[in-house]
Amino acid sequence: MKRLSWLTLLMLLLTMVLVACGGSGDDAEPEADSGDTAADSGDEAMDEEDEAMDEEMMEELVCEDAVGCVEIAPGDPIRVASALVITGPNESLGLDSQYGVEIAIADRGEINGHSIELQTEDDGCNAEGGQAAGQKIASDPSIVGVIGTSCSGAGVPMSQIVCAESIAMISPSNTAPVLTDPETRQSCYFRTAHNDKIQGRAMAEYVFNELGLTQAAIVHDGDPYTEGLASVFRDAFTELGGEVVAFEAEAADATNVEPLLTSIAAAGPEIIYYPVFIPLGSLITKTAQEIDGLEGIVLAAADGVQSPDFLDASGDAATGMYVSGPDLGFGNDIYTAFLETYQAEYGTEPTAPFHAHAYDATNMLLNAIEAVAQVGEDGTMLIGRQALLDALTATDGMAGITGTISCDENGDCADPQIAVSQVQDGSFNAVWNYENE
């Protein structure tokens, strides 16, 4: 009995140990569950943090621009427009700029993975064409900016229309002073062409100081470009000591200018300055040879006729006449490469003086787009319209074909370089360069 008691006691002790061990095992499982729960909580916290970061990324693409944004979906192109005179009697002026726009876009290729698409409009080189092109562009919210117009007469109404929608507008060849006058300039308007306050004075100084002529007659057609340039020439010429014996207007589509030139001949000028476009310019040039009293008269025009089309239309009557316009002696590597591309793509040399200004205007716009664009991880792009205008206004020290592009508070961005050319051997040959101070 005593031995059995000890065995019984030993078995009881073993049972207690086993129970204790078993209890510990049962308790371990809840502890493991607790550990899993902590891990799951950690994963959930990380997921919430990732979601918060994703939401923050999405918040960065919310348009906060004062006047709105252009939204470009992943894979869609950035859409810009041109509005230049690409048909009709002045088409060589606008097509030349159009080619400059196209070359700049091809050179850039893309911005942040988005290609660049060009919508082409015709400004008609008149107010009606500028209004029609402006309305079409302004009605399309996908268009980020526009390069145009060719002619100042088209630029005035178009700038009013597109600027009402805060669409950036940069002209490569508008030169009328009214377009960047603080009293009349539209807030979205910029230009890479010179201001005719400079060209008009340059021509006046050449006529008075270099040619030694003191009696001038002036003809314009009422367009902001022609009348503006004629007025600046008149004021500068008079200030220098010259006399303006006639200041006349003629319709741009006139077919008979004999009465006009007969009246001018009676006033006894030594030079006629007519800063008009190709049709009227060639008509005046040819008719002047037939008017009594204008024998030996000096004829002069401006960049509105600086095209092979004008020379073809005027024939030998243009020989010896003078033309003011931008100095094209840029002589830089960008221009050399540009001319090679121009010739290869279009099979001709430039046909007018503003192709380089169009190239610079396009790059100015594309630079500003790249600077302000917000891009999401999926490629979505937002371009704030006011931010874009602010970036264009801030353009400073941009290296272009035409010089250093820097915008003032009124949208004049050109590095103005003016030359006077003479028609010799059927081409325009620079004979004098104006040093703008």
- The number of C-alpha atoms within 13 Å of 87 and in the hemisphere containing its C-beta is 6
SS3 192: coil
Distance of alpha carbon 296 from alpha carbon 294, whole angstroms: 6
**Which residues lie below 8 Å from residue 241, measured CB to CB, with a gap of 6+?**
208, 214
pTM: predicted TM-score of the whole model, two decimal places: 0.86
Contact 423, 310 (CB under 8 A): no
Return d(Cα 133, Cα 118) in angstroms, integer. 14
Evaluate whether 369 touches 110 at the Cβ level (below 8 Å).
no
Helix, coil or strand: residue 10: helix
- The pair of structure tokens assigned to 324 is 């003011």
Closest listed residue to residue 303, CA positions, set 181, 155, 194: 194
First to last CA, the chain: 131
CA distance 304 to 325: 8
Residue with tokens 């000591």: 241
Q: Which residues touch 410 (CB under 8 Å, ≥6 apart)? A: 180, 181, 182, 185
Contacts of 166 (CB under 8 A, 6+ apart): 67, 68, 188, 385, 386, 389
Maximum Cα interatomic distance, the chain, rounded to a whole number of Å: 161
Helix (H) or strand (E) holding 334: helix 333-346
- The CA distance from 239 to 136, in Å, is 44
Q: Which domains are present in the chain?
A: 69-196+329-416 (3.40.50.2300), 197-328+420-434 (3.40.50.2300)
> Tens digit of pLDDT for each residue in 121-164?
999 999 999 999 999 999 999 999 999 999 999 999 999 999 99
d(CA 297, CA 258): 15
3-state per-residue secondary structure call for 379-416? CCEEEEHHHHHHHHHCCCCEEECCEEECCCCCCECCCC
Q: How far is CA 307 from CA 36, 199, 277, 410, in A?
A: 82, 18, 10, 29
Residues 170/392, Cβ–Cβ less than 8 Å: yes
Per-residue pLDDT in tens (0 to 9) along the chain, 437 residues: 333 343 343 444 444 433 344 444 444 444 444 444 444 555 555 556 555 544 444 456 899 999 999 999 999 999 999 999 999 999 999 999 999 999 999 999 999 999 999 999 999 999 999 999 999 999 999 999 999 999 999 999 999 999 999 999 999 999 999 999 999 999 999 999 999 999 999 999 999 999 999 999 999 999 999 999 999 999 999 999 999 999 999 999 999 999 999 999 999 999 999 999 999 999 999 999 999 999 999 999 999 999 999 999 999 999 999 999 999 999 899 999 999 999 999 999 999 999 999 999 999 999 999 999 999 999 999 999 999 999 999 999 999 999 999 999 999 999 999 999 999 999 999 999 997 75
- Contact yes or no for 426/321 (Cβ under 8 A): no
- Geometric angle at alpha carbon 154, from 264 and 168, rounded to 5°: 145
Which tens digits make up the pLDDT trace of 30-67?
Answer: 444 444 444 455 555 555 655 554 444 445 689 999 99
Q: How many CB atoms lie within 10 A of CB 123?
A: 31
For the chain, give the mean pLDDT: 90
Residue with tokens 């909580």: 41
Nearest residue to 187 via CA among 205, 169, 201: 169
Rg of the chain's alpha carbons, rounded to an integer?
36
Report whether 163 contacts 186 (CB < 8 A): yes
